[in-house]
A = this chain, B = another copy of it.
Amino acid sequence: MANDGRSDVPLGRRSPMATTRVMVADRNVITRVGIRSILERNAGMAVVAEATTYEAILDAVDEHGPDVLIMDLDLGDDTTRGLKICEEITDRYPGTKVLVLANTLSEMIVVEALRRGATGYLCKDDVKADELGKGVKAVQDGETVLGKGVGSMVARGLGSSRGQAEHLTDRELDVIRAVAKGLSNKQIAVQMYVTESTVKFHLQNAARKLNTHRRAELVHRAAAAGLL
């Protein structure tokens, strides 16, 4: 029942040349309008829906059944939420390909997104106007599209983590966020209703996963990965 919604929405497939139905998910109006303008220069492409929140994405995909969903993983304060949505879409709506259009380039996020079913990953600041249209077409055909610098990152990411990127648990993220605020382990312990030992435990695990052993770098990497 998951993708039944698609069958009753073949509207828009009426032009002589099949139209690529695109949906855009981004919190930023300017970006949404920009993507729409760029894509609609190409004949045969139409932006059929937009979404600005995580909740709205699933509804809109279900309702409009786009061929390609262009999405920014960061639609709120939680990029991991974006990753989950990405996985959910590709699981439940195999007819909709996901093209991630990210603000930043973080190895961890790139690897996770692809592992969860994204067919393409482009970086906003690097993408050229014509690349966007080509990327959408390629992704629609099931071809994997990786932007400038993304490819090598994937290679490294898959190599270093042997196929499965370790990702931070909720608790670890909580601790890191507290560290970023300048709290000491003791203060964090009080705030989280656990002991200082536990705080140190989570930090050690997080540090190992992010491949560092210094809290300053830990915070920096987590921030760079869009985790804060």
Residues of A within 8 A of B (CB): 27-38, 103, 124-125, 127-129, 132, 179-184, 212-220, 223-224, 228
Contact = CB atoms under 8 A, between A and B. Distances in A.
Contacts of A31: 30-31, 34, 124
B34 A180 contact: no
Given A182-B212, A182-B214, A33 B220 contact: no
Nearest to A74: B125
Contact of A217 (B29, B180, B214): B180
Contact of A34 (B32, B184, B224, B228): B32
B103 A30 contact: no
Contacts of A212: 182
Given A38-B33, A219-B219, A219-B220, A27 B125 contact: yes
Contact of A30 (B27, B35, B213, B220): B35
A144 B228 CA distance: 31
B180 A30 contact: no
